Amino acid sequence: MANANLIQPDLDFVKELTVEGGGGESLKKCFQCATCSVVCNVTHTDRPFPRKEMVWAQWGLKDKLLGDPDVWLCHQCSDCTAYCPRGAKPGEVLGAIRKISIQNNSWPSAIGKLVASPSGLIPLLMVPIFIFGAVILGLGRLNHLEGPIVYEKLVPIPAVDAIFMTAALFAALSFFTGIKKFWKAMLDATGRESVRGSVVPAIIAALSEIIAHKRFDKCEVTSARASAHKLVFWGFAGLAVTTTWALVYLYGFHLESPYSLINPMKWLAFASMCSLLYGIYKVVSNRKDNAEKAGEGSYFDWLFIWLVVLVGATGAMSWGIRLLGIAPLAYLTYFTHLVLVFSLFAYAPFSKMAHMVYRTTAMVFAHHVDMEK
């Protein structure tokens, strides 16, 4: 075991972080004073982060970081960034590491590269545009749009569902391989073959933590972020319930949309939409307010945020414009909405959306390791 601790810094990994736009431009400024680990409220105390992650990143120890649950336990409160005496912005650096981690774990990795770079945006959007465009043109739907605005006329609901089901399946498959890879990396990093016992208690612990935003609430410098995130989170949850509800109506009771405005499903949809829109507005405004202390955030972050904003906005507009009866604009908005929703879900494993999966996995792993003791 002479070379057991042989360290081989991955210079490309360092450059990937520190390159302009990499998100970790400030990484090398760290001089290891550990102020970050001291001010962090969400770190555990036995091997606190993010000090150790900073030196690992400086040394290009990619494997260690990709198998490190702490990278994901970080909620980017930015307390560390605000207090860092050297301007090394540990919060930003960990965010950049998470981006690389997402790209590295997700499959196929080519899509990951496209999501991470501004030049990949057009090709990515072309995919849903092409699919939905093909359906619309193929079925000749553009010629049957007269009369009251019914979105079913543009794209048949079963087609929408089929496309989204496929996208969701693809995302789920990609997530599954990603989680598997991440789990293995975490096992390797801690020198384990597998975890002992059932992970169910750890999953329950992690989920209850997530639902209540227990960790997020500990942030200080960017304390408003937790409530904004809650609104977005519950908005998405509500919309998920609405979607399920709609599926039940359609396939269970064969009720066709649009539904009446007094239908409670509409109320839930409306409430969720408001929550999502106001939440994401707060996310954006918080980020602007905190930029000086917490950093500007990367393209990767903003891509996700704007996607959510636009999904929410086009969703709301599709509804509003339909009620106003402006047909061409309504259909165009609806089409955009479909494209964006597709992007949100199909590319979720490669975008920042993936944080919900990886952070949850990391929390489960961390809880499980704690419970093993």
Partner 1 sequence: MEKKIGVYICEGCDIGENLDMAKLQEIATKEYKVPVVKTHRAFCSSDGVDLIKKDIQEDGVNTIVVAACSHRIFYDVFDFGADTITERVNLREQVVWSHPVPKEAESSGESSGGGEEGEAATGVDEDTQMLAEDYIRMGIVKVQKKETPVPYQSEDEFVNNIMVIGGGFTGMTAALEAAETGYPVTIVERQKELGGFAKKIRQQLPMKTPFNTLEEPTIQGLIDKVSNHDNITIKTNIEIARISGAPGQFLVSFKEPGSKTEWDVPPKLEEGEEACGTTDAKDASGDAVEPAADQVNCADILSVDPDAEKFGAVVVAAGWRPYEPSEEEFKHLGLGKFKNVVTNVQFEEMAAKGRIEAKSVAFIQSPGRESDDSDFPYCSSVTSLVSLKQAQYVTRDNPGGKAYVFYQHMRTPGLYENFYKAAQQNDAVFLTKGAVTSVGASGDDDQLLVSVDNTLLGESIKVSVDMVVLATGMVPSTQFEPVINLAYRQGPEFKDLELFSGYCDSNFICFPYETRRTGIYAAGCVRQTMTMAECVEDATGAALKAIQCLESSNRGMAVHPRSGDVSYPEFFFQRCTQCKRCTEECPFGALDDDEKGTPKPNITRCRRCGTCMGACPERIVSFKDYSIDMIGSMVKAIEVPEEDEEKYRVLCLVCENDAYPAIDMAGMKGLKYSADVRFIQVRCLGSVNVVWIADALASGFDGVMLIGCRYGDDYQCHFTKGSELCNRRMDNVGETLQRLALESERVQQIQLSIDEYDKIPEEINKFMEVIDSVGFNPMKGF
Site for partner 1, rule CB under 8 A? 2-9, 11, 14-15, 18, 28-29, 31-32, 47, 52, 55-56, 58-61, 86
Q: CB 59 → partner 1: shortest distance, Å?
A: 5
Q: CB 48 → partner 1: shortest distance, Å?
A: 11
When the beta carbons of 59 and 170 are compared against partner 1, the nearer one is: 59
Q: CB 47 → partner 1: shortest distance, Å?
A: 8
Q: CB 80 → partner 1: shortest distance, Å?
A: 17
Q: CB 14 → partner 1: shortest distance, Å?
A: 5
When the beta carbons of 9 and 133 are compared against partner 1, the nearer one is: 9
When the beta carbons of 8 and 285 are compared against partner 1, the nearer one is: 8
Taking alpha carbons only, the member of 96, 56, 103 closest to residue 74 is 96
Q: DSSP letters of 260-325? A: PTTSHHHHHHHHHHHHHHHHHHHHHHHHHHHHHHH----HHHHHHHHHHHHHHHHHHHHHHHHHHT
The DSSP code for 249 is: I
When the beta carbons of 6 and 262 are compared against partner 1, the nearer one is: 6
When the beta carbons of 67 and 178 are compared against partner 1, the nearer one is: 67
Taking alpha carbons only, the member of 29, 81, 332, 65 closest to residue 222 is 81
| Three-state secondary structure readout of 80-120 | HHHHCCCCCCHHHHHHHHHHHHHHHHCCCHHHHHHHHCHHH
Question: In angstroms, rounded to a whole number, what is the distance separating the alpha carbons of residues 310 and 359?
Answer: 24
